[in-house]
Structure 1
Amino acid sequence: MTAFRQYFEDNPEIFAALVAAIAILGGLLGSVIGAKIQANGGRAQADAAQKAAEIAAEAQRVAALWNVRQLQVAEFIRCVREAVATSQRLYEAEPDDQELRQLVHAAYQAIEFKAAELILIATEEVVNVVEATLLAAEELEQEAMDSGPTAHAEAVFTRLYLSRDMETARAARVAQNVLNAETGETYESRTRALRGVPGLSETLAHELAVNSGGGNRLQWIETGGRKSNVLEEKLAELVRATRTMLRSEDDVAPATPEPRRRWWRAA
């Protein structure tokens, strides 16, 4: 050590150059370390930003899906009720009302379209109930299509049967006896008897002659009522399944995210 010190004392210019070299190397090392720290910090910030963006994108996707599911189920239920209300008008319309039949057909096509949309976005539980609801609605529609015109004809005939006009009531009773006869009465004889009832149109007379058998109206009303109850049960089940899918019983208040830690404060 003494020799080294004596050497540098005898050669001060070499000592000065060595000190300068050490200072330069120290500066370079400090720059490298600083750059490394800064790079690590930049990567941490970038990772945090990417994660935040992914969380935000997922939250937006979930919110959008929630809204679409809610709207589509509500629209499906509305279409079902509208179609049922339209089909029930068949019990009050003339049998040859083709315009009403087209409206009923279009209303049930709208249900099928909404059901197809829900199948693409809803949970499996909701999809199963939607399909069951669609089936129940279509059975109710078919019942109205098949029985509505004759039920309407029988309702009109019943009012005429109970009419205070003696001639009308008497003619209706004669026709009723013909309709109730189990044997010996042909379509022609039934039609002839029904045409003799004042206030009964040709179309209604034909409908009764072909399809009425005495007491059928009550049976059709009972069948239609039973199918209507089934549909209401399916709709109630759909509401319950949808509330589960939408987590309606949960606390939906948005949670405040934890403040993001800066990279230079991370320990």
Structure 2
Amino acid sequence: MNTLRAYFENNPDLFAALVAALAIIGGLAGSVIGSKIQANGGRDQARAAREAAEIAAEAQRAATLWAVRQAQAVEFAKMANEFLRTVDVMFKREPEREFLDRAQSEFRAIFLKRVEIEITATGDVAEFAVKAETDLSDFMELARSRGPAVHAWGVLEGLTESEDQSIASRAAAARLMVRDWKYTHHTFENAFGVRLEGRLPGPIEPFGDLTEMHIQRIRFDAINPDIEWVRQDLEDRIEMNMHSLVNAIRGMLGSGAEMRP
């Protein structure tokens, strides 16, 4: 050690050069280490930015899907309510092609919306949407097949309250005849399998606002189960399935959960 010190004391220029070289080497080492730290920091920043972008993209996708599902659910419910109002009219007035065409057009729109829901919604929502669509289709078919007879029966019922006592008494007698025959017909059919093909045990002649067409509709519909019970059962099923659909949609959209900022 003393020898090395004595050597540098005798060669001060060499010592100065060595110090300068060490300073340069130290600076280079510091630059390399700093660059490495900076590079690592850059990679960390890039990774963090990439993860943030992925999170933002997923959040945007989820928000877009939620908006689509919400819009489809609201539109389906509105279409169903409008369709039910249209079909209800078919039980209350003379059969008109206009209302049947409107009901069919509205049902096609419901069908297409149900397909959209089936593609984007959760499984339980899609399942209840299919059930609701089936019920609505059955309701339209019921109105198409038995709506004219329901209207004809309404005409007959209205005549029982006519101010013309002759018309009112004839209407009451005709109503009683149909109801008695209907009860007897179904008793025979259930007990012996006898089908009377809608023939009433006595003629009903047109009177008041009751036309021959009304009478024919009442005759042919009389062999069917009471429309009041059939319709009520179907309407109850529609209401139950629509309620289940709404609950499933609320679950899908998280409508029942408390919103957090």
**TM-score using structure 2 length:** 0.83
Give the superposition deviation at 1:206: 4.2
Equivalent pair of 1:87/1:141 in contact (CA under 8 Å):
yes
Aligned pair 1:69/2:69, yes or no?
A: yes
Stretch of structure 1 that moved more, 169-178 or 36-45: 169-178
CA distance in 2, matches of 1:199, 1:33: 104
Query: How much identity, in percent, do the aligned residues show?
Result: 37
Equivalent position of 1:197 in the other structure: 207
Q: Counterparts of 1:76-225 in structure 2 under 5 Å?
A: 76-95=76-95, 97-169=96-168, 172=171, 180=181, 193-194=204-205, 196-201=206-211, 203-209=213-219, 211-213=220-222, 219-225=226-232
Equivalent pair of 1:161/1:173 in contact (CA under 8 Å):
yes
Stretch of structure 1 that moved more, 10-19 or 102-111: 10-19
Question: Mind listing any 5+ residue stretches in structure 1 that lack a counterpart?
Answer: 255-267
SS state at 1:91 partner: coil
TM-superposition CA deviations, 1:160-212 (whole Å, max 9, x none): 2442314434554676688659879979x95xx44x31323454344335x24
Aligned pair 1:29/2:26, yes or no?
A: no
Aligned Cα root-mean-square deviation (Å): 2.7
Give the superposition deviation at 1:47: 1.4
Equivalent pair of 2:157/2:175 in contact (CA under 8 Å):
no
Give the superposition deviation at 1:251: 2.5
Aligned pair 1:252/2:245, yes or no?
A: no
TM-superposition CA deviations, 1:11-42 (whole Å, max 9, x none): 22222221111111111100001111111111
SS state at 2:19 partner: helix
Give the superposition deviation at 1:10: 2.2
Cα 1:163/1:212, change in 2 over 3 Å: farther
Give the superposition deviation at 1:231: 0.5
Equivalent position of 2:189 in the other structure: none
Stretch of structure 1 that moved more, 27-36 or 135-144: 135-144
TM-superposition CA deviations, 1:123-166 (whole Å, max 9, x none): 11111111111112211221111111111011112222442314
TM-superposition CA deviations, 1:85-117 (whole Å, max 9, x none): 11111111212x101100111111121111111
The structure showing larger relative contact order (alpha-carbon pairs under 8 Å, at least 6 residues apart) is 1
How many residue pairs get matched?
Answer: 246
Question: Mind listing any 5+ residue stretches in structure 2 that lack a counterpart?
Answer: 186-195
CA distance in 2, matches of 1:227, 1:41: 68
Equivalent position of 1:262 in the other structure: none
TM-superposition CA deviations, 1:62-102 (whole Å, max 9, x none): 1222222122112111111111111111111212x101100
Give the superposition deviation at 1:240: 1.4
CA distance in 1, matches of 2:76, 2:87: 16
Give the superposition deviation at 1:248: 2.2
